[in-house]
Structure 1
């Protein structure tokens, strides 16, 4: 895998071995980042939470495109080592990129300041949609996620109905849904009641 655009364009990053993670493909990352740049007016200054980091490709791509900082959560030791290695490869300083080796659902970053305004959710497909979305909604209630944050939720296309129900139950509004093969990527905004 490579960083697609920005400061680290063309730099190679690694993905964890095995079937434990599903790295977001270059094509999907490119399309997603373009959509986010349009929705936000660019990625400059974004404060990013990459909640189920895997390789860290989404957060690293956002940093390359001007995000101020990114916090990567990864519970799997082998995957966390890959994220750490990718951060070193790109020469990222701790003030810009921080890795937390923990399950974000069990130890969410409740006291994050400044608040995250861009959240990537690419959880294991077996995880119920409501679990990861509820975690973000709770972070918004503590002020760790800003009221105008954009949340990107990647899930199996076959779970669209479950995703719709969970998004509504957790207080999110669907801005767009793009389909890539068997994968759906939802771009969400927090409802006013959470902000």
Structure 2
């Protein structure tokens, strides 16, 4: 795994050992960023189930100002910190350990004026609650009409065409996974 483009292009990323997480392959990561627009002009990113942190790091490499990475697996959190250290810009990242849904609420309470430009939802496939996660982000005031939401899931799953004030812009499949991108109406 590596950073595909931007400021950190080509830098290697570590994967979480074991099979508790599924790192997004470089091919899928590149495709996701080609779909949502390859570069950003600032803003915040929220990576709700971060794994190795590769997608959030890619977003910062491509111009996001700050990424919040939420992860409950302690081995993954260790790898996230190692991958962030590779960027040499740790001030651009906030790592939140523990339950991601509780972290959404904590972040919203501590940062009432922040909305996310990009949200990445890649939950464990057996516990995919992307629709309720989007509802929670909306209820907490963390997403608005300028937010892009990327959902990675098992290709057997499909999310509704509309969730809250967001419509499904695109769905792509890669082997056993699917990525759906939502944007504000």
TM-score by length of 2: 0.90
Alpha-carbon distance between aligned partners in 2 of 1:101 and 1:177, rounded to the nearest angstrom: 30
Alpha-carbon distance between aligned partners in 2 of 1:82 and 1:180, rounded to the nearest angstrom: 25
The CA deviation at 1:171 is: 5.0
The CA deviation at 1:103 is: 1.3
Encode CA deviations 1:68-123: one digit per residue, 9 max, x unaligned.
110000000000110011111111232x1110012112332323342112000011
Alpha-carbon distance between aligned partners in 2 of 1:156 and 1:35, rounded to the nearest angstrom: 19
The CA deviation at 1:168 is: 3.9
Where has structure 1 moved over 3 Å in runs of 4 or more?
167-172
Mapped contact 2:151–2:179 kept (Cα < 8 A): yes
Mapped contact 1:178–1:185 kept (Cα < 8 A): yes
- The aligned residue for residue 176 of structure 2 is 182
1:32 is paired with a residue whose SS is helix
The CA deviation at 1:169 is: 5.5
Gaps of 5+ in 2: none
Return closer, same or farther for 1:73/1:115 CA change in 2, 3 Å cut-off: same
Give the aligned length.
181
- The aligned residue for residue 87 of structure 2 is 90
Gaps of 5+ in 1: none
2:15 is equivalent to residue 18 of structure 1: no
- The aligned residue for residue 145 of structure 2 is 147
TM-score by length of 1: 0.86
Say which of 77, 80, 84 aligns to 1:80. 77
- The aligned residue for residue 95 of structure 2 is 99
1:189 is paired with a residue whose SS is strand
- The aligned residue for residue 60 of structure 1 is 57
